[in-house]
């Protein structure tokens, strides 16, 4: 089947809706939560639909609180909707129940379709594996059940939802930062302390729109905690805990410490000693409360072979 038959563009429509807030007189609620509760759109769709909200014809942030009888004008652009076929692929499923699938994503697999990646994505594999998934997410065909994503060259643990209710329950934990997310990384250099934290703002690099950079005041707040597990003369194996989930956060934070991740083709130069290694970043562990449960569960993706091979090489030097 050709790429053209897998990927068909539909017309983009600008849509608007006006709603009158209905809340108890003494109560207020964040506008993003109110829109979701009112059934206009799920919060997981806000970014892809480029939603804008106006109060008294003035655009407001989604974090602003609204009160009873406020009149909101909501505008959004429905994204290009792809019409693509499910694809059979080998999925490394670590856990599954009626609400979620927990997978070990291999390095090189793109999570969802997008520019330049029209087939062979995790989403298409999930659509083949779970025949009802597309029916449950007809209004979000690009990311059906996708709670969070990993970069193409980051391997490891990822959790996906089977139903919209499960998606919202999981997504809320990521938004509220109540999940526990641990990564492993091989870095060039040595961090200043055995344990520590990197706390900055992260903003897009105006010189290269594909990249991000740290900033003292501009951008989004980001916090990464680290622990050095092993170190060699010029390299270290570290464990990282993400307290926030910004795009490229780990890669940018470690670069800011002078310790880029080995194999990072975007943020680091090729290392002449270890050679052509691929990105040495792995989503290792996740703690999260599953829908319908009250206690946090912990999942772990096995350490990939490329980590074991590099460690063995460094031990022999």
**Catalytic residue status for 139:** no
Where do we find the tokens 């999981």? 170
Distances (CA, A) of 268 to 145, 236, 260, 279, 314: 33, 15, 6, 10, 19
Alpha carbon distance 149, 29 (integer Å): 28
Nearest to 85 by CA among 44, 153, 141: 141
pLDDT per residue over 86-123, tens digit each? 999 999 999 999 999 999 999 999 998 876 677 899 99
What structural domains and CATH numbers belong to the chain? Answer: 7-77 (3.10.290.10), 93-171 (3.30.2350.10), 180-316 (3.30.2350.10)
pLDDT of residue 254: 98
pLDDT per residue over 229-244, tens digit each?
Answer: 999 999 999 999 999 9
pLDDT at residue 6 tops 90: no
| Stretch 190-211: mean pLDDT | 94
Query: Both tokens of residue 40?
Result: 């206009």
Per-position b or e across 174-210, b if 16+ CB within 10 A of its CB: beeeebebbbbbbbbebbeeeeeebebebbbeeeeee
Give the integer Cα–Cα distance in Å for 295 and 287: 10
Q: Which of 155, 137, 135 is nearest to 146 (CA)?
A: 137
Helix (H) or strand (E) segment spanning residue 123: helix 122-129
pLDDT at 83: 56
Q: Which of 32, 70, 140, 151 is catalytic?
A: 151
Structure-block tokens of residue 14: 């600008």
pLDDT surpasses 50 at 2: no
User: Which DSSP category does 172 fall into?
Assistant: H
């Amino acid at each position: 089947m050709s790429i053209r038959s897998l990927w068909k563009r539909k017309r983009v429509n600008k849509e608007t809706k006006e709603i009158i807030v209905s809340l108890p007189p003494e109560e207020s609620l964040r506008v993003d939560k109110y829109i979701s509760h009112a059934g206009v759109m799920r919060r997981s769709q806000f970014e892809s639909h480029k939603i804008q909200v106006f109060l008294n014809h003035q655009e407001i942030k989604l974090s602003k609180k609204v009160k009873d009888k406020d009149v909101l004008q909501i505008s959004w652009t429905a994204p290009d909707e792809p019409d693509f076929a499910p694809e059979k692929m080998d999925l490394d499923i670590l856990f599954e129940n009626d609400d979620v699938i927990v997978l070990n994503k291999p390095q090189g697999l793109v999570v969802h379709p997008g520019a330049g990646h029209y087939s062979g994505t995790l989403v298409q594999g999930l659509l083949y594996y779970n025949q009802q998934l597309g029916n449950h997410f007809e209004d979000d065909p690009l990311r059906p059940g996708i709670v969070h994503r990993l970069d193409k060259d980051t391997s490891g643990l990822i959790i996906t939802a089977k139903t919209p209710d499960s998606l919202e329950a999981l997504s809320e934990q990521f938004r509220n930062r109540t999940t526990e997310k641990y990564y492993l990384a091989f870095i060039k250099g040595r961090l200043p302390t055995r344990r520590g934290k990197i706390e900055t703002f992260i903003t897009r690099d105006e010189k290269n729109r594909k990249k991000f950079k740290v900033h003292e005041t501009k951008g989004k707040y980001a916090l990464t905690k680290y622990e050095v597990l092993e170190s060699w003369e010029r390299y270290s194996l570290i464990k990282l805990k993400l307290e926030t989930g910004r795009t490229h956060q780990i890669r940018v934070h470690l670069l800011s410490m002078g310790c880029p991740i080995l194999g990072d083709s975007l943020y680091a130069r090729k290392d002449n000693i270890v050679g052509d290694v691929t990105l040495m970043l792995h989503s290792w562990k996740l703690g999260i409360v599953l829908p319908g449960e009250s206690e946090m569960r912990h999942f772990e993706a096995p350490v990939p072979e490329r980590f074991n091979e590099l460690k063995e090489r460094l031990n022999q030097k």
